[in-house]
């Protein structure tokens, strides 16, 4: 397929597993970000504040922004993004947490 026939759009999938060592710090940072969003309607602000106060995963969703991840990458423009967060049970030694399993390459392929 020639360059002219290929799409210019790329879907980048990123999965992160974060360990929250200080839930209060995460919540406080999310509340600070919400407070600084002057364009947020008051009813939405109240809902957001309640959500991040009750759930650290929600607080992280307010702090991690896909636009921030690619805004400094030259030659690209973010057209669409979605993300979510959830609490999980995590065992780094369990086979289901092998991050290389979805890449379609064998470790010997290089």
pLDDT at 99: 66
Look at the chain and report how many structural domains it folds into.
1
In a domain, residue 60? The reply is yes
In a domain, residue 36? The reply is yes
Range of the domain at 46: 18-104
Treating both helix axes as pointing N-terminal to C-terminal, what angle do 23-36 and 42-54 enclose, rounded to 10 degrees?
170
In a domain, residue 10? The reply is no
In a domain, residue 3? The reply is no
In a domain, residue 78? The reply is yes
In a domain, residue 91? The reply is yes
Residue with tokens 């929600």: 58
pLDDT at 3: 56
CA distance 65 to 73: 14
pLDDT in tens, the chain (110 residues): 555 678 899 998 888 889 999 999 999 999 999 999 999 999 999 999 999 999 999 999 989 988 888 999 999 999 999 888 888 888 888 887 776 655 554 444 44
In a domain, residue 56? The reply is yes
pLDDT at 21: 96
In a domain, residue 70? The reply is yes
């Amino acid at each position: 397929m020639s360059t002219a026939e290929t799409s210019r759009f790329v879907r980048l999938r990123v999965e992160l597993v974060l360990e929250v060592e200080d839930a209060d710090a995460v919540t406080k940072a999310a509340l600070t970000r919400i407070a600084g969003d002057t364009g947020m309607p008051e009813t939405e602000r109240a809902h957001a504040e309640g959500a991040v106060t009750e759930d650290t995963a929600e607080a992280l969703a307010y702090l991690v922004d896909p636009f921030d991840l690619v805004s400094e990458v030259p030659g690209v423009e973010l057209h669409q993004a979605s993300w979510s967060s959830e609490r999980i049970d995590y065992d780094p030694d369990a086979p289901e947490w092998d991050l290389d399993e979805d890449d379609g390459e064998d470790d010997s392929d290089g």
